[in-house]
Chains A and B, each alone.
Chain A
Amino acid sequence: MDIQFISKYLPMYVEAARLTVFIAFIGILFSVLLGFICSLIRYIKIPILHKIVDIYIELSRNTPLLIQLFFLYFGLPKIGIRLSSESCAIAGLVFLGGSYMAEAFRSGLESIPNIQRESGLSIGLTKMQVFLYIILPQAVTVSIPAFSANVIFLIKETSVFSAVALADLMYVAKDLIGLYYKTDEALLMLVMAYLVILLPVSIIFTLIERKMRYAGFGNQSSF
């Protein structure tokens, strides 16, 4: 193990990690937004839109991210749309993440028994109020485990972005291996870098989950 090599190229990893985290953060933020809108459209069954959402979700979940990126990076320029590596990466991540997030929210929304809606209506709330004050808070809590699994999954998926020439962690590692043949050191740093990013995320979500359970949601069987 070449410690000197590691310390020499560590700053490159830090830089790449920063980029990875940045892309992941923006991508996941918009994924959540898109997913939330999609699950709402499906939940209230807006006529034509919900069919479109269905198609989008199937398309996005059943094609690999790599292919989606190739389509964005190499396909779109053929019809005159040229995206930078960063925009491509973010667009790809949102296209994939949106459907996963939509499904996570849907599982939450569908887990709330209909009688909750009815007892909300029966105290004179409007449908909108029932959704905001009764369905949504419970649904979000139920979705959190699926939601956090998706966040971790999407952060890991960023390793594909080197394919569209984004200088992320994977890209740097491959670069160093290609230049210096220091495979062990480069890969070790790569794994460590992902752990440093992902472990805190994982721990934070575990804490959030515990906190939400404690607040009185845990016992679903009490309905």
Chain B
Amino acid sequence: MKNDEKILEIKHLKKKYDDTVILNDININIYKGEVVVVLGPSGCGKSTLLRCINGLETIQEGGIYLNGEKISNQDKKMHFVRQKIGMVFQSYDLFPHLTIVENILLGPIKAQGRDKKDATQEAEKLLERVGLLDKRNSYPRQLSGGQKQRVAIVRALCMHPQVMLFDEITAALDPEMVREVLDVMLELAKEGGTMVIVTHEMQFARAIADRIIFLDQSRIIEESTPQEFFENPKTSRAKQFLNVFDFEVVKHSDSNK
């Protein structure tokens, strides 16, 4: 799916809060159509990395480039950059005072100045794709968590972003709803969307990723294909991390099966 066109480039990124280093010397290139999954233990800086890319955090060293143009620490024109980078958060964060369709249209109409009729048509088409067209005039509080998260994805998609960032978007959902959200993302990946995903769903990471980046203690520890990473991790830290997700079978009655 991926080709050689570099979309996003992160060079020697360093992020600090006062004296605490969150991200240290991060170098990542992301190519068009590529799906990169960032894994790592809590507090390793995964979410902060996404927030840096989207300009919600300033960085202390290095730079982030979108299509060769520097986008890090560009406060004045950051809203233009964010129109090209979609982001979906863990807690969905729909705007509670707007209906579903208004939530989706706010960006295209107010930020991009697009025609209301066109944008509405597109929003409805996208809603239909995620199976939520009948909710177009509902308010967020009337939706389940999984439905809200699918709307949040549509809200980001409707801006026609070049890259989509997903920050643990299934972490607050119960298992059944996780599936419906992940399916939407799998479909996006199939269509060739460029995505950077932070997740704790290992099976999903393995299924969707073109490349896995493993972060620990503010650094990139390992970078490889999902097959390599899950079956044959190079570093002991990654092995240790993956072990957490395997359980020894302790029930004797089950072990015979």
Contact = CB atoms under 8 A, between A and B. Distances in A.
B89 A124 contact: no
Interface string A130-146: 00011001100100000
Contacts of A219: 96, 141
Contacts of B83: 123-124
A119 B159 CA distance: 13
Interface residues of A, number: 26
Contacts of B82: 121-124
A223 interface: yes
A141 B97 CA distance: 9
A138 B155 CA distance: 19
A125 B110 CA distance: 7
Nearest to A141: B97
A119 B83 CA distance: 12
A97 B83 CA distance: 42
Interface string B72-108: 0000001110110111010101011111000000110
For chain B, give the interface size range: 20 to 34
B139 A223 contact: no
Contacts of B140: 216, 222
B96 A120 contact: no
A211 to B, nearest CB: 13
B89 A129 contact: no
Interface of A: 115-116, 118-127, 129, 133-134, 137-138, 141, 215-220, 222-223
Given A120-B95, A138-B97, A218-B141, 20 more contacts: A115-B89, A115-B91, A118-B56, A120-B106, A121-B79, A122-B56, A122-B89, A123-B156, A124-B79, A124-B107, A125-B79, A125-B106, A133-B95, A133-B110, A137-B97, A141-B97, A216-B98, A216-B99, A216-B142, A222-B140
30 contacts: A119-B95, A120-B106, A121-B55, A121-B79, A121-B82, A122-B54, A122-B56, A122-B87, A123-B82, A123-B155, A123-B156, A124-B79, A124-B82, A124-B107, A124-B111, A124-B159, A125-B79, A129-B110, A129-B111, A133-B95, A133-B106, A138-B95, A141-B97, A216-B96, A216-B99, A219-B96, A222-B140, A222-B141, A223-B91, A223-B96
